[in-house]
Amino acid sequence: MRRYHNIHRIVAVTGGARGIGRATAKAFAGAGARVAIGDIDGDLAAHVAHEISRATGGQVCGLPLDVTDRSAFTDFLDAAESRLGPLDTLVNNAGIMPTGLFSDEDDTMTDLMVSINLAGVLNGSKLAVRRFSGRTGRIVNIASLAGISAHRGVATYCGTKHAVVGFSDSLRLELRDSGIGVTLVLPGLVRTDLSAGSGTPLWVRPVSEVDPEDVASAVVDAVVRGRDKVVVPRSLGVLLGAVQLLPTRVRSRLERLAHLDAAFTATDSDARARYHGRILETRRDNV
């Protein structure tokens, strides 16, 4: 992936204290952008911002942000602009992925996925469109390859990501010729806490899993080039597209034979329990 320097952009990243968000904030700061990190864990956001600033020499600030609260989102953007200047890039990255069969899914988790993964993107995008009005800007929505496919054990997650895909493509049409671009990012399984303990077969992992830094590099590249859609890794997107052309019965049989159908049901229960617990604890402590 091409490395960029002296990117004169002012960027806000939601869910920026961990995983893809943290890597993206660091990649932008390393390329010369000024960056605001927003996260439900405000203390962690401030700590990570300090670490990134020290590592890159960039101007980075960490602020509390609950993407499900439009007023809180407005406060975050206002605070970011007061510290860094007028924003021109918003990366809607915040998201969670609890796993398990839909019938067993706790209602709290269902509501949180819809609120964070979907409503958070809608809130950020609407505020960004209004804020960028009259000047150029770019909205980056981090979806997932799960947004163009289907998997057992993550039904609600897939539903929210399908919605983000459709929303982003539609919003791009609405904003055509406005000077505001919309970039949709579709990562495969990313090696973060979000996917820890998944049951993805070992033989598939080299072609299906990526590091958060890979996604971050793709985001920076897409913003600089003004790209509408990015798949990470690109090869997996091509493969998935080919598989989707198969009849449903054939595709399901192949997935069972390859043990792909159990990737999010036959998981490491301890790892998933820790992740689910952290989601609820962080929400409880910071909302």
Taking only the tens place, the pLDDT of each residue in 17-38 is 999 999 999 999 999 999 999 9
Across the chain, what does the average pLDDT equal?
90
Of 83-92, 229-238, 256-265, the least confident: 256-265
Please provide residue 37's backbone torsions phi and psi, each rounded to the nearest 5 degrees.
-100, 125
Mapping DSSP onto H, E and C, the string for the chain reads: CCCCCCCCCEEEEECCCCHHHHHHHHHHHHCCCEEEEEECCHHHHHHHHHHHHHHHCCCEEEEECCCCCHHHHHHHHHHHHHHHCCCCEEEECCCCCCCCCHHHCCHHHHHHHHHHHHHHHHHHHHHHHHHHCCCCEEEEEECCHHHCCCCCCCHHHHHHHHHHHHHHHHHHHHCCCCCEEEEEEEECEECCHHHCCCCCCCCCHHHHEECHHHHHHHHHHHHHHCCCEEEECHHHHHHHHHHHCCCHHHHHHHHHHCCHHHCCCCCCHHHHHHHHHHHHHHHHHHC
Residues 86-128 pLDDT 10s: 999 999 999 999 999 999 999 999 999 999 999 999 999 999 9
pLDDT at residue 255 above 70? no
* 195 confidence band (pLDDT: 50, 70, 90): confident
Residue 138 has pLDDT above 60, yes or no: yes
Q: Is residue 87 exposed (0-12), middle (13-18) or buried (19+ Cβ within 10 Å)?
A: buried
Please provide the size of the chain in residues.
287
Residue 207's pLDDT is 57
Overall average pLDDT of the 51-55 stretch: 98
Query: What would the mean pLDDT of 263-282 be, rounded to a whole number?
Result: 85
CATH numeric code, 10-286 = 3.40.50.720
pTM, to two decimals:
0.90
Q: Give the span between the Cα atoms of 97 and 157, in whole angstroms.
A: 6
Q: What is the pLDDT of residue 200?
A: 66
More confident residue, 287 or 36: 36
Q: What is the pLDDT of residues 275-285, one digit of tens each?
A: 899 999 999 88
Report, as residue numbers or ranges, the catalytic residues.
157
What pLDDT is stored for residue 24 in this prediction? 98
Query: Which of 184, 74, 87 lies closest to 132, judged by CA?
Result: 87
